[in-house]
């Protein structure tokens, strides 16, 4: 089945306006459209517009922290901006229905805030080197949501029979080359930051790996956390202390918690490679045999946790 034609079950809407269900995508598009019309009426040079645009000096020297968020709504009403809003609604709805409204809202907030926070940090660290232009547009956000749909449905078919992944390559190339030709460096670098944010969030939420030749080597550079139930390789030491009166007292040092090796090590070892495969490629990559093995090991661990009569 073509993923583009799949009818996903909707989540509960945020609220209702009459008979209309308002979800995250619909609410965001409505706000963008209203602000776009208001800016057209007020004029692009108004003080209200200037107060919504992000700039390094505005945040660091004048404390305009709200511009870390509001910059994304400052879009002049043009044909291409209106078309981008339509695309955002189409693809944003699909992504929201697939990952859920709460996760989609988290994705949008990260795509809005992390780029401007990154620009602010660079402004603090390299104030003598970089001179950032004002930053105001939702183009990078719209592109990241479109590519999020492509990553989730890379084999979806667009007209005229072209796979979604090639449309994604086309849109990224056009957008990046446009920013490069205009020398809009904050927008250029934040376009890549936005795509990276979208990928990381979707991977954390269970999306299968898309860049198998690159991602494993990058993950190996990140220190791995110790799994729960970790036990130090050092054995407990028995210490004998002689008290007054000639009495000897023996006790054990608390270097590591006691772990029943027979009950826990075998199941954990049997599913360790399965858990690693799930973290890299998603749970959908498991075969039927591997799923049964995972369920069997899970039931063994559950039985070990039950109190013995």
Q: How far apart are CA 65 and CA 186, in angstroms?
A: 18
pLDDT digits (tens, 9 = 90+) for 217-267: 666 665 555 544 434 444 444 545 555 555 655 555 444 444 444 444 455
Q: Can you tell me which residue has the tokens 């957008």?
A: 175
pLDDT digits (tens, 9 = 90+) for 107-149: 999 999 999 999 888 888 876 655 667 888 899 999 999 999 9
Among 188, 55, 189, 224, which residue's Cα sits nearest to residue 131?
Answer: 55
Copy the structure tokens of residue 6.
């799949």
For residue 187, is pLDDT > 60? Answer: yes
Cα-flanking dihedrals φ and ψ of residue 22, to 5°? -105, 110
Mean pLDDT score, 157-176: 85
Find out whether the peptide bond into 160 is cis, omega within 30 degrees of 0: yes
Domain ranges of the chain: 3-207, 261-304
Which CATH code is given to the segment(s) 3-207?
A: 1.20.1540.10
Q: How far apart are CA 71 and CA 49, in angstroms?
A: 9
Among 137, 146, 141, 192, which residue's Cα sits nearest to residue 165?
Answer: 146
């Amino acid at each position: 089945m073509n993923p583009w034609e799949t009818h996903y079950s909707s989540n509960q809407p945020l609220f209702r306006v009459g008979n209309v269900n308002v979800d995250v995508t619909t609410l965001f598009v409505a706000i963008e459209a209203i602000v776009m019309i208001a800016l057209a009426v007020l004029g692009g040079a108004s003080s209200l517009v200037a107060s919504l645009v992000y700039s390094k000096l505005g945040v660091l020297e004048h404390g305009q922290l709200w511009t870390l968020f509001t910059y994304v709504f400052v879009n002049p009403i043009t044909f291409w901006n209106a078309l981008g809003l339509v695309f955002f609604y189409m693809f944003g709805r699909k992504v929201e229905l697939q990952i859920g409204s709460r996760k989609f809202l988290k994705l949008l907030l990260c795509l809005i805030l992390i780029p401007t926070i990154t620009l602010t940090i660079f402004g603090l660290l390299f104030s003598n080197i970089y001179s950032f232009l004002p930053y105001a547009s939702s183009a990078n956000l719209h592109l990241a949501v479109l590519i999020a749909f492509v990553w989730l449905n890379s084999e979806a078919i667009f007209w005229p029979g072209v796979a979604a992944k090639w449309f994604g390559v086309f849109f990224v190339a056009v957008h990046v080359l446009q920013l490069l030709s205009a020398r809009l460096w904050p927008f250029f670098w934040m376009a890549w930051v936005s795509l990276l944010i979208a990928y990381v969030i979707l991977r954390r939420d269970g999306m299968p790996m898309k860049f198998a030749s690159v991602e494993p080597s990058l993950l190996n550079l990140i220190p791995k956390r110790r799994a729960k139930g970790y036990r130090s390789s050092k054995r407990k030491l028995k210490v004998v202390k002689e008290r007054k009166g000639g009495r000897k007292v023996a006790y054990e040092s608390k270097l590591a918690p006691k772990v029943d090796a027979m009950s826990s090590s075998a199941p954990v070892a049997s599913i360790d490679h399965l858990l690693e495969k799930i973290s890299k490629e998603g749970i959908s990559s498991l075969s039927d045999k591997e799923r049964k093995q995972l369920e069997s090991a899970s039931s063994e661990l559950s039985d070990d946790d039950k109190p013995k009569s």
